[in-house]
Amino acid sequence: MISDLAYQLLQMTLVIALAPGLTGLIRKVKARLTRRRGASVLQPYFDLARLARKEAIVADSATSYFRVAPYLIFASTWVAAALVPTFATGLMFSWSADLIAIVAILGFGRFALILAGMDVGTSFGGLGASREAMFATLAEPAMMTIVFCLALLAGSTQLSTIAEFMTTHDVGLRVTLGMALVALVMVAIAENGRIPADNPATHLELTMVHEAMILEYSGRHLALIELAAMLKLLLYVSIIGCVFAPWGLVAGEGRSLGVGLGVYLAKLAFAGVALGVFETSIAKMRVFRVPNFLGAALMLGLLGAMLLFVSRVLK
C-alpha cells in the first residue's frame, strides 16, 4: 500500500520533472540539425522559473476566469499525465480513469484553454480558440478510434491492462497496430501543436494556434500553461511508449525500479530526437490542411478497428 502510494507520487513528480527536459531536448536537437548550437537542454527549466518569479500582467478587459484558467489547464493535464503508465503499470490510481477518461480529461484542459483564449476579447485569442476547437472536433474522434483498436485487441480500455497485454501476450505484428500507431502519432502531433500542424516557435498570426490562445498570458500564468503544454507532450510520448514499446515497464514486484526508470528515460530521449528530426525535415502545413491530416488519422483508426473484425472472423 505504502509502496503503491510512493510509486504514484514518484510518477506524479517524475512527469513534472521530466516534461521541460523533453521539450529542451527537442529544441536542442532542432538547433543542432540547423547548425546552431542552441540553448542548453535545461533552458526550459530556467524559463519556467523566471516566468514564475515575474509579476503577472492581466488585461483590463479580462474577467476573473482569466486568472483561474491556468490552474484548470495545468491541473487537468497533470492529472491525466499522472494516470498514464510511464515507468510502471498498475499504479495505485490507474483504475480511476481508463484511456477514454484520460482523453476526456485532456479535453477538459482544452475546453478551459479555448475559453481562456476567448476571455480577453482580442481577435488573436478568438482566432486561436476557434482553430483549436475545429482541430479538436477531428482529433478527439481520431483518438477514440485508436482507443477502439487497442480496446478491441486487449479487451480493456485500461491503459495498464493494455500495456500488460502488449508485453505478456504474443500480439505479433498486426496491421491494425501499425495503423493505430501511425494514427496516434498524427493525433499526438496535432494535439501538441507540433510541426506540421502548428508551430510552437512562431508568433506569426497566420500560422499560430496554441500561441494565439495564450498570447495575453504572462508571468506565473504563462509558466503554468507552458508547463501544461510540456506535460501534454510527455503524456502522449508516454502513451505511445507504454502501448507500442511496452518494454521495461515495472509491473508488480519482480522488476527493478532502476531498469524501469532507465528504459523510460531512453524512450523519452528517443522520442525527443525523433520528433526533432521529423520537425526539421518537414514544412508546416496550411491551417485548412490540418483537417485532412486529422481526417486521415481518423480513417486509419477506423480502418484499423474494422480490420480487427475481419481478421477475427477469418482466424
Partner 1 sequence: MNALVGLLLVDLALLALAIAGAIRRNNALVYGGALALSTLGLALALTHFLGRAAPQTLVLPIGLPWLGAHFRLDALSAFFLALAHLGGAVASLYGLGYGRHEQEPGRVLPFYPAFLAGMSLVPLADDAYTFLVAWEFMSLSSWALVTAHHRSAENRNAGFVYLVMAAFGALMLLLAFGVLAGASGGYAFAAMRAHPPGAGVAALALALVVLGAGSKAGLAPLHVWLPLAHPAAPSHVSALMSGVMTKIAIYAFVRFAFDLLGAPDWRWSLPILLLGAATAALGVLSATMEVDLKRLLAFSTVENIGLIFLSLGLALAFKADDLSRAAALAFTAAMLHALNHMLFKSLLFFGAGAVLTATGARNLDRLGGLFDRMRWTSLAMLIGAAAIAGLPPLNGFVSEWLMLQAVLLGPAFPQWTLKLLALAMGAVVALVAALAAAAFARMFGIAFLGRPRSPEAASATDADPTMRYAMAGLAGACLLAGIFPGVLIDALKPLAEAAVGAAMPLQAKIPWTSIAPIAESRSSYNGLLVLIFFVASGSAAAFVIHRVASAAIRRAPAWDCGFPNADPATQYTAVSFAEPIRRVYGPFAFAARAEVDMPRPGEARPARITVHMSDRIWRGLYAPIGRAVAAVATWLNPLQFLTIRQYLSVVFGALLALLLLLAIRS
Which range of residues in 103-111, 191-199, 247-255, 257-265 is near partner 1 by CB under 8 A? 103-111
Beta-bridge mates of residue 88: 250
Beta-bridge mates of residue 8: none
The three-class DSSP label of residue 88 is strand
Asked if residue 8 binds partner 1 (CB under 8 A), the reply is no
Which range of residues in 46-54, 166-174, 185-193, 232-240 is near partner 1 by CB under 8 A? 46-54
Q: What residues between 286 and 315 interact with partner 1 by CB under 8 A? A: 287-288, 291, 298, 302, 305-306, 309, 312
**Cell numbers representing residue 40 in the block:** 542548453
Asked if residue 247 binds partner 1 (CB under 8 A), the reply is no
Residues 6+ apart with CB under 8 A from 244: 166, 177, 181, 184
Q: What residues between 262 and 291 interact with partner 1 by CB under 8 A? A: 287-288, 291
Distance CA 311, CA 181 (A): 18
Residue 262 beta carbon to partner 1: minimum distance, rounded to whole angstroms: 27
Q: What residues between 147 and 176 interact with partner 1 by CB under 8 A? A: 148, 151-152, 155-158, 161
Contact with partner 1 (CB under 8 A) among 56, 171, 261, 277: 56
Q: What residues between 77 and 96 interact with partner 1 by CB under 8 A? A: 78-79, 82, 93, 95-96
Distance CA 175, CA 17 (A): 36
Residue 256 beta carbon to partner 1: minimum distance, rounded to whole angstroms: 25
- 216 class by beta-carbon count within 10 Å (0-12 exposed, 13-18 middle, 19+ buried): buried
Contact with partner 1 (CB under 8 A) among 72, 177, 188, 243: 72
> DSSP assignment of 247-293, as one string?
TT-B-TTTS-HHHHHHHHHHHHHHHHHHHHHHHHTSPPPPGGGHHHH
Q: With respect to partner 1, which residue has the nearer C-beta, 159 or 249? A: 159
Contact with partner 1 (CB under 8 A) among 31, 33, 100, 266: 100
Contact with partner 1 (CB under 8 A) among 40, 137, 168, 311: 137
Residue 26: name the closest of 236, 233, 226, 286 by CA: 233
Asked if residue 110 binds partner 1 (CB under 8 A), the reply is yes
Q: What residues between 172 and 201 interact with partner 1 by CB under 8 A? A: none
Beta-bridge mates of residue 250: 88
Residue 24 beta carbon to partner 1: minimum distance, rounded to whole angstroms: 20
Peptide bond just before 196 cis, omega within 30 deg: yes
Q: With respect to partner 1, which residue has the nearer C-beta, 128 or 196? A: 128
Asked if residue 134 binds partner 1 (CB under 8 A), the reply is yes
Distance CA 217, CA 117 (A): 9
Residue 69: name the closest of 225, 219, 248 by CA: 225
Residue 137 beta carbon to partner 1: minimum distance, rounded to whole angstroms: 5
Q: With respect to partner 1, which residue has the nearer C-beta, 29 or 80? A: 80
Which range of residues in 180-188, 216-224, 233-241, 242-250 is near partner 1 by CB under 8 A? 216-224
Residue 243: name the closest of 313, 304, 175, 178 by CA: 178
